[in-house]
């Protein structure tokens, strides 16, 4: 309101000045020409203000023509305002030409041409003084010829970190209105040098908005839910459906980007915010969860006695060993506590024939071969799998190991020591007996060189008393 009123006032003032100037010019022309035309001194004195008056008249004339052409005719034909730079150039050229004509008319004896062309000092002074201005002027002309952007486009001057809407392009600078409603002038020469990102007004410009969800959320569901919530948001173009896609798999989240196109790019701040808001509500409604940085902590305890298998599993395994079947649950648990687990790679030797041995082993997982070495090399006499035991012969008789035991695949064994067995023998006398049967059987196999050989009753009885003696039992 206030602006238009002051505009009106300045127009009235301009009109009055023009009217006065025109009146004065006409008056001077008619009177001076008639009476003092030929009086030399007086004539020269009067000529200066007369030329000035004519120049002023020319100036207003040019302004009038300028307004008529660009404000009226141009707008009528093209439908938009003429670029400021074109108007300025028109004004400058017309005024210079008119001034030259007036000067030539009043001072025909003075040559204007040589004044500009021959004076080197004048040229240097002008050149230096107008260096920047001329640079801007020519950069402005090239910007107009090139038309990289127009009034109303959003531009980003990368180096200057400046974003805003182009308001006008003059002979000196580009006027940019930022999103904080500030005006920033970017000189034409700077604009010609810098990289400028342009989002043209009549173009479908896209934006990216980011968000993250947790790993347990379904990507397919997220895509559907988010896309549908964003596509009908205000200022999101319905010409292209928004794209929702996974940008990366982060440490604690699936990272997403939404690409959407805007009807009016100059409002992208509001639209970005609206899109984020839509995403929040859509995720909430559909039971999807925003991710925020999380860490999964694995706390390392002091190295456990039995790192491989849990105690219950071991007790279960021992209960499946035939010789331990008479043991109570409690005894099995006690025994499980006393065992130590070991893992062997395929091909590794667990027991070597001839070695001393004071413990036996139960196969927990995997498979081993019992091998005796004779003239032709190692010969497998038996293969033992889960729930079988070995190494009992040396443990119960005190003799050296009778054979090699080699892992055929990755094998986990449970080692039972002398003390644990002694404790069991004291409470379970039948245990020594059943074990002595197994040992006798295996000894017979070894002796005859084949499996399933039957030991004699005397052999077993002798073995049992040897075991009892060895363990100090009665």
Least distance from ligand CMP to the Cβ atom of residue 401, Å: 4
Q: How many residues does the chain have?
A: 474
Question: How far apart (Å, rounded) are the C-alpha atoms in residues 397 and 57?
Answer: 133
Given the structure tokens 């245990």, which residue do they identify? 431
Q: What is the per-residue binding string for ligand CMP in 355-374, x denoting contact by CB under 6 A?
A: --x------------x----
The reply on whether position 401 binds ligand CMP by CB under 6 A is yes
The reply on whether position 393 binds ligand CMP by CB under 6 A is yes
Binding residues for ligand CMP, how many (CB under 6 A)?
18
Q: Which of 164, 242, 391, 455 binds ligand CMP (CB under 6 A)?
A: 391
Least distance from ligand CMP to the Cβ atom of residue 291, Å: 56
> Residue 259 — φ and ψ, nearest 5°?
-110, 120
Q: What is the per-residue binding string for ligand CMP in 431-460, x denoting contact by CB under 6 A?
A: -----------x--xx----x---------
Q: Which of 162, 308, 338, 381 binds ligand CMP (CB under 6 A)?
A: 381
* Sequence-ordered list of residues with C-beta below 8 angstroms from that of 238, at least 6 positions apart, any chain: 231, 232
Name which of 186 and 446 has its Cβ closer to ligand CMP: 446
Structure tokens at 432: 């020594």
Least distance from ligand CMP to the Cβ atom of residue 252, Å: 52
Q: How many CB atoms lie within 10 A of CB 411?
A: 25
Name which of 304 and 377 has its Cβ closer to ligand CMP: 377
Name which of 226 and 393 has its Cβ closer to ligand CMP: 393
Name which of 309 and 359 has its Cβ closer to ligand CMP: 359
Question: How far apart (Å, rounded) are the C-alpha atoms in residues 457 and 230?
Answer: 88
Q: Which of 213, 339, 402, 411 binds ligand CMP (CB under 6 A)?
A: 402
Scanning residues 166 to 195, which ones bind ligand CMP (CB under 6 A)?
Answer: none
The reply on whether position 467 binds ligand CMP by CB under 6 A is no
Q: Which region among 93-101, 150-158, 226-234, 392-400 touches ligand CMP (by CB under 6 A)?
A: 392-400
Nearest to 152 by CA among 33, 301, 266, 1: 266
Sign of CA dihedral 169, 175, 178, 184: positive
Least distance from ligand CMP to the Cβ atom of residue 215, Å: 50
Least distance from ligand CMP to the Cβ atom of residue 448, Å: 10
Structure tokens at 386: 């889960």
Nearest residue to the partner ligand CMP, using Cβ: 394
How far from 254 is each of 111, 219, 297, CA to CA, in Å?
79, 9, 19
The reply on whether position 382 binds ligand CMP by CB under 6 A is yes
Q: What is the 3-state secondary structure (H, E, C) of 68-99?
A: HHHHHHHHHHHCCCCCHHHHHHHHHHHHHHHH
Question: How far apart (Å, rounded) are the C-alpha atoms in residues 409 and 384?
Answer: 12
Task: With residue 255 as reference, give the H or E element that holds it.
Answer: strand 254-262
Interface ranges with ligand CMP (CB under 6 A): 351, 357, 370, 381-382, 390-394, 401-403, 405, 442, 445-446, 451
């Amino acid at each position: 309101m206030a602006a238009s009123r002051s505009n009106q006032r300045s127009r009235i003032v301009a009109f009055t000045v023009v009217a006065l100037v025109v009146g004065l010019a006409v008056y001077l022309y008619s009177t001076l020409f008639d009476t003092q035309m030929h009086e030399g001194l007086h004539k020269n004195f009067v000529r200066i203000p007369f030329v000035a008056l004519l120049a002023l008249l020319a100036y207003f004339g040019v302004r009038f023509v300028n307004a008529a052409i660009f404000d009226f005719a141009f707008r009528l034909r093209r439908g938009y305002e003429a670029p400021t730079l074109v108007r300025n150039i028109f004004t400058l050229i017309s005024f210079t030409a008119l001034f030259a004509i007036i000067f030539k008319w009043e001072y025909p004896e003075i040559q204007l041409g040589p004044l500009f062309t021959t004076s080197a000092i004048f040229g240097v002074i002008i050149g230096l003084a107008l260096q920047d201005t001329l640079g801007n002027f020519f950069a402005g002309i090239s910007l107009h010829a090139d038309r990289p952007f127009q009034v109303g486009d959003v531009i980003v001057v990368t180096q200057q970190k400046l974003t805003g809407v182009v308001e006008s392009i003059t002979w000196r600078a580009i006027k940019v209105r930022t999103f904080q409603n500030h005006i920033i002038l970017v000189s034409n020469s700077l604009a010609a040098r810098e990289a400028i990102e342009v989002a043209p007004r009549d173009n479908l410009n896209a934006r990216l908005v980011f968000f993250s969800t947790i790993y347990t959320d379904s990507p397919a569901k997220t895509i559907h839910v988010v896309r549908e919530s964003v596509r009908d948001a205000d200022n999101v173009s319905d010409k292209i459906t928004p794209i929702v896609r996974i940008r990366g798999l982060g440490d604690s989240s699936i990272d997403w980007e939404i690409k959407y196109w805007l009807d009016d790019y100059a409002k992208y701040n509001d639209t970005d915010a609206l899109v984020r808001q839509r995403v929040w509500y859509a995720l909430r409604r559909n039971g999807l969860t925003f991710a925020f940085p999380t860490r999964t902590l694995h706390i390392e305890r002091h190295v456990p006695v039995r790192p491989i298998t849990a105690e219950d599993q071991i007790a279960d395994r021992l209960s499946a060993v035939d010789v331990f079947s008479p043991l109570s649950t409690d005894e099995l648990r006690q025994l499980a506590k006393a065992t130590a687990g070991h893992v062997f790679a395929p091909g590794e030797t667990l027991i070597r024939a001839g070695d001393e041995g004071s413990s036996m082993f139960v196969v927990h997982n995997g498979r081993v071969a019992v091998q005796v070495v004779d003239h032709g090399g190692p010969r497998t006499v038996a293969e033992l799998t889960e729930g079988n035991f070995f190494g009992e012969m040396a443990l119960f008789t005190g003799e050296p190991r009778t054979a090699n035991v080699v892992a055929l695949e990755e094998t986990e064994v449970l080692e039972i020591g002398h003390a644990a067995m002694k404790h069991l023998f004291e409470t379970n006398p039948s245990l020594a007996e059943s074990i002595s049967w197994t040992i006798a059987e295996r000894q017979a196999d070894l002796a005859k060189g084949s499996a399933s050989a039957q030991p004699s009753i005397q052999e077993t009885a002798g073995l049992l008393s040897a075991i009892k003696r060895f363990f100090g039992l009665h």
